[in-house]
Amino acid sequence: MNHHAFVIEAEAEEGIKVAQAWAQMKLGMKAKGNPDVIVLRYGLLSVEDARRATELASGKAFVGTTKVVIIAASRAYHEAQNTLLKLFEEPPKGANLFLIMPTLGGLLPTLRSRVQVLEPAASRSSSQEIPESATEFMKASKEKRSVLIKKLTSGSDEDARRENRDEAIAIINGIEAAAYASGRTTSRHRELLEEVQILRGHLYDRSAPVRMILEHLSLVIPRNLL
């Protein structure tokens, strides 16, 4: 899975905001007036469109060595996705790629396997949108977090374990939203966002060790995140 290539399941403008927020938080790149943050909007993504995106991603950055290419499309021909496959598998040095679509149902498995799914929760800017369970987890003491983690890992059957895993994902999404909403760009916050991406990916696995993931998450949350 490539750490410089992402897909976002969202409407175009919402997804673009998520990608731009990521670029500002992780790379320090503001979107407004920045020629190295490129936004491409399409209805139906064609092979020609995919080739154009590849050309733009392969070109040199105007400032520094890093660029961001955001591709928003309502739908994408399979041939166009195949054209993007090599680009997303091995992005050019310094290039960070985003593909935004309203639904990922039509995404080719070969392409999806080469990207990270970036959750729209990353664009949240208000603590009111953060799930109560995430707020409770962030504000809790070390001892209280241990109690919460134990509760979320005590499911007695598959349905209970699935609900607990979903709750753990909601907590991770809420912590990510809080990190973005804080507007901070310290190394600790950047590291937290990197950890969130990795841990959330593990949680989507049915056999994920939820206790270990949440315990690790508890250790990397900066103080006073809210």
Give me the mean pLDDT over the 50-63 stretch: 93
Burial class (CB in 10 A: 0-12, 13-18, 19+), 89: middle
Which pLDDT band holds residue 216 (cuts at 50, 70, 90)? very high
pLDDT of amino acid 126: 40
pLDDT computed for residue 51 by the predictor: 95
pLDDT at 185: 67
Which pLDDT does position 64 carry in this prediction? Answer: 85
Give the C-alpha separation, 203 to 80, whole Å: 30
Which residues touch 146 (CB under 8 Å, ≥6 apart)? Answer: none
Render pLDDT for 95-139 as a digit per residue (tens, 0 to 9): 999 999 988 777 888 888 888 888 765 444 443 468 889 999 999
| Residue 69 pLDDT > 90 | yes
- Which amino acid, 12? A
Alpha carbon distances (Å) from 191 to 11, 162, 176, 210, 219: 28, 28, 11, 20, 12
Task: Give residue 25's pLDDT.
Answer: 85
pLDDT bin (cut points 50, 70, 90) of residue 2 is low
Structure confidence at residue 7 as a pLDDT band (50, 70, 90): very high
pLDDT of amino acid 128: 43
| pLDDT attached to residue 129 | 66
State the pLDDT at residue 140. Answer: 92
Asked if residues 45 and 72 have their Cβ atoms less than 8 Å apart, the reply is: no
Q: What is the pLDDT of residues 162-173, one digit of tens each?
A: 788 888 888 988
Distance CA 14, CA 42 (A): 15
Please report where in the chains the tokens 């990916």 appear, as a residue: 201
Amino acid 195 reads E
Max mean pLDDT among 78-87, 116-125, 154-163 falls in: 78-87
Which has the minimum average pLDDT: 125-129, 139-143, 151-155? 125-129
Residue 60 in tokens = 């040199």
